[in-house]
Amino acid sequence: MKISILFVDDDRDVIDGYKRMLFSMKKEWEQFYAISGEDALKIMEANKIDVIVSDMKMPGMDGTTLLSKVMELYPRVLRIILSGHQDDIKIIRSTTLAHQFLLKPCDTNQLMNVIENAFSLRTNLENDKLMSILNGIGQLPAIPKLYLEIEELMSSPDVSLERVSKLISKDPAITAKILQTVNSAFFGLPRRVTSLIDSLNFLGTNTIKSIILYLQSFSSANYPPETRVYCEAVGSHSLQVALTAKEIGKIEKKDKQLMDDIYIAGILHDIGKIILLQVPGYYKKMLILNTTGLKRSIDIEYELLGVSHEWVGAYLLGIWGLPKSVIEAIAFHHSPSKINESGVTALSILHVANAFVNYKGDKFSGNELDVDFSYIGNLDLIAKLEFWWDSTKKFKEIDNE
pTM above threshold 0.85: no
| pLDDT of res. 388 | 94
First-to-last alpha carbon distance for the chain, in angstroms, is 50
pLDDT for residue 227 is more than 70: yes
| Domains defined for the chain, CATH in brackets | 3-124 (3.40.50.2300), 144-216 (no CATH), 224-397 (1.10.3210.10)
Mean pLDDT, range 99-117, rounded to an integer: 78
Using alpha carbons only, give the angle 71, 111, 59 rounded to the nearest 5 degrees.
50
Other beta carbons within 10 angstroms of residue 343's beta carbon come to: 9
15-64 pLDDT, tens digit per residue, is: 998 899 888 888 889 999 999 999 999 999 999 998 999 988 889 998 88
Range 324-332 contact pairs with CB under 8 angstroms and sequence separation of 24 or more? 325/258, 325/261, 325/265, 326/194, 326/261, 326/264, 326/265, 326/268, 329/261, 329/262, 329/265, 329/269, 330/265, 330/268, 330/269, 330/271, 330/272
| pLDDT of res. 399 | 41
- Which one has a higher pLDDT value, 184 or 191? 191
pLDDT for residue 141 is more than 80: no
pLDDT for residue 187 is more than 70: no
| pLDDT of res. 33 | 96
3-class state of residue 180 by DSSP: helix
Confidence tier at 393 by pLDDT (50, 70, 90) = confident
Peptide bond into 105 cis (omega under 30): yes
Most confident of 154-158, 176-180, 252-256: 252-256
What CA–CA distance (Å, rounded) separates 349 from 345?
6
| pLDDT of res. 398 | 52
253-288 pLDDT, tens digit per residue, is: 998 889 888 888 888 899 888 888 888 888 999 999
What CA–CA distance (Å, rounded) separates 244 from 106?
40
| pLDDT of res. 309 | 92
| pLDDT of res. 345 | 92
| Mean pLDDT over the full length of the chain | 81
pLDDT for residue 144 is more than 70: no
